[in-house]
Amino acid sequence: MTRGAFGPVIAAGLIGMGCGAGFSGPFGDRFGRRTALIGTVLLFSLVTAATAFAGSLPVLGLLRFLAGLGIGGAMPNATALAAEFVPVGRRAIAVSVTMICVPLGGMIGGLAAAQILPGYGWRMLFAAGGVAPLLLCVLLWFVLPESPGFRAGAPKGERASLAAVFAPDLLRDTLILWLLFFCNLLAVYMAFSWLPTLLTAEGLGLAAASSGLAFYNLGGVAGVLICGAFITRFGSRVPLLVAALGAVASALFMKGWPGYLLGGFAANGFFVNAVQVASFALAAHVYPAKIRSTGIAFALAFGRLGPVLSAFLGAGLIQAGRGAFLSFLALVMGCTFVALALLRNHIPGTQRGR
């Protein structure tokens, strides 16, 4: 099939992620982060395994939408749990270590794809991708406690509402966070969804192209850890502005030096994923506990429009050539830089004694 034929399938999964985030955040604030997290993990594990039996593009698209509901719904509640288990001063590194599993999972998925796809096909890849989180779901049921922040709010009868994230003292940062998530996730998913296709179009084999995604996410793992440490010490403003500029520079470097695509995308993954994971910590910092899952969820839900857009833009940009694809990445991360510069309530650093 043509590359463009899979655009709606990719979009279906990304739309599901946005819807899942929008529903699960208020659910987690009302009924508990633990309940919401375990339910969403169970959903995306079962549907991902079922995807191995899809017999047509419409069925594949439906199953990816349902899996997206679970994947998108898990992230706001995982972020809120991580943020509420630690003191404020260590919140950035706690969220970073938790959300580092996004690029880490992408790295493992890329390495698995390089081994499974050539010999066993895409169905086996989805089967393996469904069984692993199902085992995790069982573990979470027995060992995961409820968030202290939720337990403290529940006896007081506190209830979250979407209107609360637009309160006068939060309005500016809410809108900027939505822009930040949109631009950054657009850049992330241009790579997640289209990097193997781009590398194949540049003449690399299937295994090497799949490994390119592993390079991107390996850089992301390093970026998240290093940036999280800098944020804990110096606050979030300067490290994240530097990371956004690094993402712009690495995209432009690859445009001028195509012989270094794998290394260039490792560097790009370092900077882009550092900003992406830190965005969750920023949102957890901006919103108080009683609306934390809701605030993160709706920033993420709006941000998911970026990945949906990437599903339709990617094929056309690759057809236009490597330069067009990389110029677009640089432009989007430039907009991310602007959003970070405008955000008012950044995470303070321990160096300043806060």
Structural domains in the chain, CATH included, are 3-349 (1.20.1250.20)
Distance in angstroms (rounded) separating the CA atoms of residues 3 and 193 = 11
Distance in angstroms (rounded) separating the CA atoms of residues 63 and 82 = 29
Which residue do the tokens 């390089």 mark?
114
**Using CA of residue 226, residue 229, residue 235, residue 236, what is the dihedral sign?**
positive
Q: Tell me the per-residue pLDDT of 154-171, one tens digit each, with 9 for 90 and over.
A: 665 555 567 888 899 999
pLDDT in tens, the chain (354 residues): 776 677 788 888 888 988 888 888 888 888 888 999 999 999 999 999 999 999 899 999 999 999 999 998 898 888 888 888 887 778 778 888 888 887 778 778 878 888 888 888 889 999 998 998 999 999 999 999 887 777 776 665 555 567 888 899 999 999 999 999 999 999 998 988 888 888 888 877 777 777 788 888 889 889 988 998 899 889 999 999 999 999 999 999 998 887 788 889 999 999 999 999 899 889 989 998 888 888 988 898 899 889 888 878 888 898 888 899 999 999 999 999 999 999 999 998 876 544
Let me know how long the chain is: 354
Which pLDDT belongs to residue 354?
Answer: 41
- DSSP output for 146-209: PPHHHHHHGGGT----GGGGGSTTTHHHHHHHHHHHHHHHHHHHHHHHHHHHHHHHTT--HHHH
Distance in angstroms (rounded) separating the CA atoms of residues 103 and 306 = 18
Residue among 287, 60, 265, 77 nearest 173 (CA): 287
Distance in angstroms (rounded) separating the CA atoms of residues 184 and 211 = 22
Q: How far is CA 159 from CA 35, 50, 154, 209, 294, in A?
A: 16, 36, 8, 47, 10
- DSSP output for 43-85: HHHHHHHHHTT--SHHHHHHHHHHHHHHHHHHHHHHHHHHHHT
Separation of CA 171 from chain center: 23
Distance in angstroms (rounded) separating the CA atoms of residues 84 and 151 = 10
Q: Are 70 and 47 in contact (CB under 8 A)?
A: yes
Which pLDDT belongs to residue 150?
Answer: 75
**Burial category of 27 from C-beta neighbours within 10 Å (exposed 0-12, middle 13-18, buried 19 and up):** buried
Token pair of 159, please? 């209830």
Per-residue DSSP letter, 258: G
Distance in angstroms (rounded) separating the CA atoms of residues 258 and 16 = 35
Which pLDDT belongs to residue 154?
Answer: 62
